[in-house]
A and B are shown apart, each in its own frame.
Chain A
């Protein structure tokens, strides 16, 4: 049975996430983006890694969270915590609504379906420019800070906010994974056909997981809005859905930390490659992905885990 307490290695890992404050203060904005992307990847891991739901439209929930947070800040209030929760709730409601359709499908049909929902929502946001700002994005608001700490130009508060959110959501996801419900999700991933034969309501379990994942994605989107004080259509784009899938596969799906490790590698590599070669940096990203997938088909953490088992 799983150990539910953080082990020493995990404690060290989370302590290391504080290092950018000291060692790389000029990269705190990037670190904030990484923490938000990691949370987004973590939300995808909940459905892909643990429940076997492949999604190419997960940005729909990230985008809804981002837009709801933006609309609240622009039209109502700029206090971020309540807006964050409402944004997560809005994404969760959308996730619950879509889950009734999504969980009935598997494999290629599921990929097409989730991609379709993502594209639909992106185009709906584009056409509803009166509300969303359309292609120009949602602008003209500024979230001053959180809990009395102002968002500064160096990204110190932004990173603290994003990291705290990531850590809290991680703890919740960890608890979910190590709960009876988490075991049921692993059961579905392992053998969806057998589950009803032990009395499991597969569809209800999957609907719940999908709703939770949508909520976490919405929280990530809202955090992006709060830390950047802008929302562009890109938050709903197919590219964002594809990126987060790549990040999760890169890090290792079904391992909780896979999305976080993948986000660190992908975002740092993207930052560095785009600095070294501004025009053709995607070439190097592609090369990195091909190399990692060929050498470590189960992602970085999957490879490390296999190595560890081999040594044992």
Chain B
């Protein structure tokens, strides 16, 4: 579904992505883990077009999207969330998600019809928010929502684009542990057709929800495999626990 071929990126002399070769099949839940500064968020930025690679290719299905603008990638089915909330503070949750639906449907250029006449978009937005347990806060301004609810709204905005591939950048960052399991349960309940790649530091969550794990260190993919294999891998143990434990 999503693949990268030899993607490289440097910021000055700092290598943030080196020969990244990924292949994420349809419907798989991938966790992207690695120490701080490993280049995980940069990889998402490269895939979504927010940062241009120095070389290499990014493919969505069979289409080369390397040079597509970010919004065009979204329209082809590649959505993301942000590590730090990036929302619309003065729009209500319902307005925010409706906007995302309207953009997807190509209605957002329409200036001559009033919003209430797009009830299908509003209903769909309400349904997405309800599926994420936000039904009690539809009309509250985003800035008034609790932090955990804002994290869910991040996901709702992405889901409203009807993605084929969803990239979640630390979706549970800053969310209390009990609530993060609830958040990932919502992610787990998403369509089995949807490919999900999520960055997460909580290994308990990673091993519970990921069907495969990618480990990134120093801008490179160190290893990729199913959770049990990753848990046994000496290189991963070294990265996370140090040489003594790896031995």
Contact = CB atoms under 8 A, between A and B. Distances in A.
Given A181-B111, A191-B89, 7 more contacts: A1-B122, A179-B113, A179-B114, A183-B95, A196-B50, A196-B69, A197-B157
Interface residues of B, number: 42
Measured as residues with beta carbon below 8 angstroms from the partner, the interface class of chain A is 20 to 34
A180 B70 contact: no
B128 interface: no
In the A-B complex, the 9 residue pairs with the smallest Cβ-Cβ separation, listed nearest first, are A199-B74, A181-B111, A190-B88, A196-B70, A196-B71, A198-B100, A4-B114, A184-B108, A199-B103
A4 B110 CA distance: 15
Interface in B108-127: 108-116, 118, 121-122
A204 B109 contact: yes
Interface in A1-30: 1-2, 4
A48 B107 CA distance: 23
A179 B95 contact: no
13 contacts: A2-B115, A4-B116, A175-B111, A180-B121, A181-B108, A181-B110, A183-B91, A186-B91, A187-B96, A194-B157, A196-B69, A197-B82, A199-B100
A109 interface: no
B71 A179 contact: no
B107 A180 contact: yes
A298 to B, nearest CB: 12
A199 B75 contact: yes
Contact of B103 (A2, A175, A182, A184): A184
Contacts of B109: 180-181, 184, 204-205, 208
A197 B70 contact: yes
Contact of B111 (A1, A182, A187): A182
Given A4-B116, A193-B86, A199 B98 contact: no
A184 B87 contact: no
Given A183-B99, A184-B99, A184-B103, A198 B74 contact: yes
Given A190-B91, A199-B100, A199-B161, A180 B86 contact: no
Contacts of A182: 111, 115
A197 B110 contact: no
A30 to B, nearest CB: 33
